[in-house]
Amino acid sequence: MARFGLVLVVAISLTIALFPDTTTAQLKPKFYGNSCPNVESIVRTVVNQKVKETFVTIPATLRLFFHDCFVNGCDASVLIQSTPNNKAEKDHPDNVSLAGDGFDVVIKAKKALDAIPSCKNKISCADILTLATRDVVVAAGGPSYTVELGRFDGLVSTAKSVDGNLPGPNDKVDKLNALFAKNKLTQEDMIALSAAHTVGFAHCSKVFNRIYNFNRTHSVDPTLNKAYAKELQAACPKKVDPRIAINIDPVSPRKFDNIYFKNLQQGKGLFTSDQVLFTDGRSRPTVDAWAKNSAAFNKAFVTAMTKLGRVGVKTRRNGNIRRDCGAFN
Ligand SMILES: *[C@@H]1O[C@H](CO)[C@@H](O)[C@H](O)[C@H]1NC(C)=O
Ligand SMILES: *[C@@H]1O[C@H](CO)[C@@H](O)[C@H](O)[C@H]1NC(C)=O
């Protein structure tokens, strides 16, 4: 390292001169236009193949991207494997174990890119995950959109950094708004991104409280549609393996659409954090508007995803391009 010291200093000052210190300045759709002009089609081919093999790739990739950006910025820190000396983000108890197919799609896309000499080790893992996320949305029938590129991969990933940064299934609107605001996202962004649950699934353990022991006076959460509560009890009997998975959108679980909002109007939000978007008067008008108008929802979703993709972006100064997405260089 020492013998590169001078080169490094020169490189850093050059970088500072070329890249002003704003996190979004470096992002642009054609960031790899010279080095790897086909990056988008290469990633898309891998994503579509993987989606054909397992649908779960879609929610898994969305969840991974969301988790990555909310914890320490969109810098692929979530992809890092723990080592004996470091418990990484992905092994926090709010784990992304569900997201195995999301990890896999990034690793496969990276491999496909590395097979092309001009792309090899040129595309950040953070950008691969961002592209793959857009591609799974499209694969599920959601809106397509331009992805800004130029994120660098983070140099830190700790389980501790996850604490208190991810929304949970029992969160109410105030808490949700506060967590999103930390990432410069508005209540509208929060509602639009929550709708990614249109293709999500959950484990029975996460809804037991709403269908069996809500509180002292109500065993079932009274904001839950009664017929839907019965369906959930049938799918998740008290003694079921808590890892059994159920769809979050009971109507069109494999389609990215605005039915999520129609479900909320009928009391069919799986989590408290879904249903409160309708029961809370502050967010209800947006839920009602997007239940009626899917184009308006799509537009808001694209805006929110683009803003999410700008959170905590790393530059050449505090990031690099990982050779292996699961390990620091
Ligand atoms: C994380 O994963 C473990 C096992 O994979 C599971 O037992 C635990 O409930 C999960 N935690 C959360 C918060 O999902
Ligand atoms: C249980 O929840 C319902 C609905 O939110 C509420 O009306 C009731 O007061 C709660 N009961 C207790 C004991 O907290």
Whole-number Å distance between alpha carbons of 45 and 249: 27
Q: What pLDDT is stored for residue 3 in this prediction?
A: 41
Instruction: Specify whether 43 is located in the same domain as 153.
Output: yes
Q: Give catalytic residue positions.
A: 67
Indicate the top mutation candidate among 172, 215, 272, 280 to test ligand 2's pocket, ranked by most ligand atoms within 8 A of CB: 215
Report the nearest atom of ligand 1 relative to the CA of 206.
14
Instruction: Specify whether 180 is located in the same domain as 158.
Output: no
Ligand number with the minimum distance to the CA of 205: 1
Task: With beta carbons less than 8 A apart as the criterion, state whether 270 and 207 touch.
Answer: yes
Q: What pLDDT is stored for residue 239 in this prediction?
A: 87
Instruction: Specify whether 180 is located in the same domain as 302.
Output: yes
> CATH no. for residue 247?
1.10.420.10
Does residue 206 lie within any of the structural domains? yes
Does residue 84 lie within any of the structural domains? yes
Instruction: Specify whether 181 is located in the same domain as 295.
Output: yes
Structural domain for 230, as ranges: 173-308
Task: With beta carbons less than 8 A apart as the criterion, state whether 134 and 302 touch.
Answer: no
Whole-number Å distance between alpha carbons of 227 and 235: 12
Strands 245-247 and 201-203: antiparallel
> Which backbone phi and psi does 170 adopt, to 5 degrees?
-105, 10
- 89 in a labelled binding site: yes
Please enumerate in sequence order all residues whose Cβ is within 8 A of that of 156, keeping only pairs 6 or more positions apart, or say none. Answer: 72, 77
> Could you tell me the CA-to-CA distances from 67 to 23, 37, 205, 241, 305 in Å, in that order?
19, 28, 20, 25, 13
Query: What are the pocket residues of ligand 1 if the criterion is a CB atom closer than 6 Å to any ligand atom?
Result: 93-95, 97
Indicate the top mutation candidate among 82, 87, 90, 97 to test ligand 1's pocket, ranked by most ligand atoms within 8 A of CB: 97
**285 pLDDT higher than 60:** yes
Ligand number with the minimum distance to the CA of 99: 1
The protein residue with its alpha carbon nearest to ligand 1, atom 12, reads 94
Task: With beta carbons less than 8 A apart as the criterion, state whether 211 and 232 touch.
Answer: yes
Q: What pLDDT is stored for residue 7 in this prediction?
A: 42
Whole-number Å distance between alpha carbons of 229 and 208: 11
Instruction: Specify whether 110 is located in the same domain as 149.
Output: yes
What is the total count of domains within the chain?
A: 2
Q: How many helices (H) and strands (E) does the chain have?
A: 13, 2
Instruction: Specify whether 109 is located in the same domain as 152.
Output: yes
Instruction: Specify whether 185 is located in the same domain as 274.
Output: yes
Rounded average pLDDT over 175-204 = 96
Q: Beta partners for 320? A: 153
Angle value at C-alpha 34, between 28 and 38, nearest 5 degrees:
85
Instruction: Specify whether 152 is located in the same domain as 177.
Output: no
| Average model confidence (pLDDT) across the chain | 91
Instruction: Specify whether 225 is located in the same domain as 267.
Output: yes
Q: How much of the chain, in percent, has pLDDT values that exceed 90?
A: 82
Rounded average pLDDT over 103-126 = 97
Helix (H, G, I), strand (E, B) or coil at 25: coil
Q: What pLDDT is stored for residue 97 in this prediction?
A: 60
> CATH no. for residue 51?
1.10.520.10
Instruction: Report which of residues 12 and 179 the model is more confident about.
Output: 179
Q: Which region, left, alpha or beta, applies to residue 22 given φ > 0 means left and ψ of -120 to 50 means alpha?
A: beta
Does residue 114 lie within any of the structural domains? yes
Q: What pLDDT is stored for residue 300 in this prediction?
A: 98
Does residue 81 lie within any of the structural domains? yes
Whole-number Å distance between alpha carbons of 178 and 275: 17
Task: With beta carbons less than 8 A apart as the criterion, state whether 309 and 69 touch.
Answer: yes
CA of 178 relative to ligand 2 center, distance in Å: 24
The protein residue with its alpha carbon nearest to ligand 2, atom 8, reads 217
Instruction: Report which of residues 48 and 19 the model is more confident about.
Output: 48
Does residue 27 lie within any of the structural domains? no
- 101 in a labelled binding site: no
> Could you tell me the CA-to-CA distances from 160 to 72, 289, 319 in Å, in that order?
11, 38, 20
**305 pLDDT higher than 70:** yes
CA of 159 relative to ligand 1 center, distance in Å: 13
DSSP codes, 42-78: HHHHHHHHHHHH-TTHHHHHHHHHHHHHHTTSSSSGG
Instruction: Specify whether 126 is located in the same domain as 248.
Output: no
CB atoms within 10 A of CB 240: 15
Helix (H, G, I), strand (E, B) or coil at 28: strand
- 197 in a labelled binding site: yes
- 61 in a labelled binding site: no
- 257 in a labelled binding site: yes
Does residue 21 lie within any of the structural domains? no
Would you say the C-alpha torsion 329, 109, 66, 162 has a positive or negative sign? negative
Query: What are the pocket residues of ligand 2 if the criterion is a CB atom closer than 6 Å to any ligand atom?
Result: 215-218, 222
Helix (H, G, I), strand (E, B) or coil at 324: strand
CA of 219 relative to ligand 2 center, distance in Å: 10
The protein residue with its alpha carbon nearest to ligand 1, atom 7, reads 93
**221 pLDDT higher than 90:** yes
> Which backbone phi and psi does 260 adopt, to 5 degrees?
-50, -45
Q: What pLDDT is stored for residue 9 in this prediction?
A: 42
Q: Band the pLDDT of 93: cuts 50, 70, 90.
A: confident
Q: Beta partners for 203? A: 245
Q: Please name the amino acid found at residue 15.
A: T
Structure tokens at 326: 């699961």
pLDDT tens string 8-31: 444 444 444 444 445 555 899 999
Report the nearest atom of ligand 1 relative to the CA of 242.
9
CA of 276 relative to ligand 2 center, distance in Å: 15
CA of 279 relative to ligand 2 center, distance in Å: 14
**172 pLDDT higher than 60:** yes
Q: What pLDDT is stored for residue 16 in this prediction?
A: 45
